[in-house]
Chain A
Amino acid sequence: MYEFLEHTADLGLRAFAPSLAELFSEMGHCLMAALLDNPSEIHARQRFRLEITGTNPEDLLFDFLREVLYRFESEKFLSNRFEVQLHPQGLTADIHGESFDPARHVLSHEVKAITYHELRVVQEGSQWLAEVIVDI
């Protein structure tokens, strides 16, 4: 589950999930919903693999989201499925999606960057929670 948060100038992304791996996937979807008015129009036609090293969950999330954003910025790649696996050295993600198609995809926000500001990845009871502010 994901949602947008109130922020005066920019946009906050928040997600909840039962595991850290699913939390990363939800945050990936939330980022797509910030970029696109109709994220349900993204189809899995291609995929790429992302490897990120690190142990701090917040740094991992930051690096994960900025890689997903960079793929959109540089190759116009939109994603609709994030298969994330965490391991002691970091994470591996198989990311499925397709190239932006102006005939079908309606752009929403230009996300300039993922920020560290008030970045949070925490476990609350049986749930994981993540929050990040993106610069619009």
Chain B
Amino acid sequence: MSKSAFTGPLERIDPCCVRIPSWYKQGMRVPGLLFVDENLLDQCRKDNAPDQVANVACLPGIQKASIAMPDIHWGYGFCIGGVAATDPEEGGVICPGGIGYDINCGVRLVRTNLTLDEVKPRMRELVKALFQQIPTGAGQSGSFVFTEKELKELMARGASYCVGRGWGVSHDLEVTESNGCIPDAEPDYVSDRAISRGKDQCGTLGSGNHFLEVQVVDHVFDPEVGKVFGLELGQIVVLIHSGSRGLGYQVCEDYLVLFRDMPKKYGFEIPDRQLASAPANSPEGRRYIGAMRAAANFGFCNRQLLMHQARQVFAKIFQRSWQDLGMSMLYDVAHNIAKLEEHSVDGVKKKLWVHRKGATRAFPAGHPEVPEVYRSVGQPVIIPGDMGRASWVLVGLPGSMERSFGTTCHGAGRAMSRTAAVARASGEKVVKELEARGVIAMSQSKRGLAEEQPQAYKNVDEVVEVVHGAGLSARVARLRPLGVIKG
């Protein structure tokens, strides 16, 4: 299944963007737009991901363009890094593949008032304590177990449910995308199977590329915005990357099965079964949307409980309350989700279903959905990189509204397959290589660590350069990892 290189047309529009013309493939309703520079273009040609951008351009009701971010790589159905907006008034579809199995996979960044000098001597102890407290790895149960009734309330109310039970404070909600609750979630449309997978998984990290990292701010590019975000050089922060766990995976699967026959029922064609979709305004489409929103709310709660546990560990290790340690949240943002948002298409304002599959919302200054505390500068965007090099904090720019439905990249993007990464270096070797860089890593799975090694990813700095250059989001600060826990 290794992919042949993409040989179709890629027309350069500017140094950061190329176009796949809509004549490339029969059925394309709009062109494809890829935000890549010359260097990343070569990489993204290699795994044929641009062909998936063209497939998405065939979805009914798609507006303007099928878009891909510079961290693009081959996915299933949608490429990773894909963005598509559909108009429900024009038969626009909702596509579970455009959201992914891990509904509301996302990132949360927590500040501290600790400095590198204070944390460095205790790093191993801290990472070990985090690893012991926070459940990681495949199918792990957490210490929070919910009844079906509680879980349904949690899915309806989102992160405010956790805050109500004392696992956080109201400020956490103010700085979470959609305040940690997507309205009109329908927990009753979430299957018994999904509920049974989710009942003991809220507050667990999971496996794959999910992680919790202790990082240090090692470069501030925009001190003014950095000040508004509460970031300064040498400061310790905590970055959490996880999603809706087994509950979300099951919701996606349930509806992909239900949607198998929708193209036939509603009379449209799709070029790949993994792009199974239903009109957003159809009964089936509305049902999926209700369940997807419920799973997204579970995702916000998962990251809320992960942060709660991290705060407890820091308090124990440093013998001060988390409030004393300044562990207030900077922001929480999803990168696998679809949301109904207002965007301008050819000068007309429309309510569109914006699908972000490995892509991050990046609203500019002044947008009403940016938390008040950040509204003068723009929405914080958190970009997890790999565990050896860096992660980034960016800020949304007006260019994102003009070019990419208010969206920017979501990470480094993989450059190497899992099997190739394992062949390059074993888990043990990766731990040693990371230690040489000053990073302490602990993982349940040595193989998982090998698969996720820094060399398996593109250089996140290059990805960020493209979205900065394209005017989608601007650099604020670069974060360097010090300690990593993984599944």
Residues of A within 8 A of B (CB): 4-12, 14, 35, 37, 59, 66, 70, 72-74, 76, 100, 107-119, 131, 133, 135-136
Contacts and interface: CB of A to CB of B under 8 A. Distances in A.
14 contacts: A8-B3, A8-B414, A14-B1, A70-B193, A73-B139, A107-B138, A107-B139, A109-B138, A110-B138, A112-B101, A116-B76, A117-B75, A135-B100, A136-B208
Given A112-B249, A136-B418, A6 B487 contact: no
- Kindly list the 8 A-B residue pairs having the minimum CB-CB distance in the complex, ordered from nearest: A117-B76, A110-B207, A110-B138, A117-B274, A116-B273, A112-B249, A6-B417, A5-B1
Contacts of B77: 115, 117
Contact of B76 (A35, A59, A135): A135
Contacts of A131: 1
B75 A9 contact: yes
B276 A110 contact: no
Given A7-B417, A109-B447, A110-B207, 11 more contacts: A5-B1, A10-B76, A108-B445, A109-B138, A110-B137, A110-B208, A112-B101, A112-B246, A116-B274, A133-B76, A136-B418
A9 B414 contact: yes
A3 to B, nearest CB: 10
B448 interface: yes
A112 B208 contact: yes
Nearest to B80: A9
Interface string B432-465: 0000000000001101100000000000000000
B7 interface: no
Contacts of A135: 76, 100-101, 249
B47 interface: yes
A11 B418 contact: yes
B337 to A, nearest CB: 16
Contacts of A14: 1
A62 to B, nearest CB: 8
B208 A8 contact: no
B137 A107 contact: yes
B288 interface: no
Nearest to B446: A37
A33 to B, nearest CB: 12
B2 A6 contact: yes
A108 B2 CA distance: 22
Interface in B383-433: 414-420
B342 interface: no
Contacts of B75: 9, 117
Nearest to B249: A112
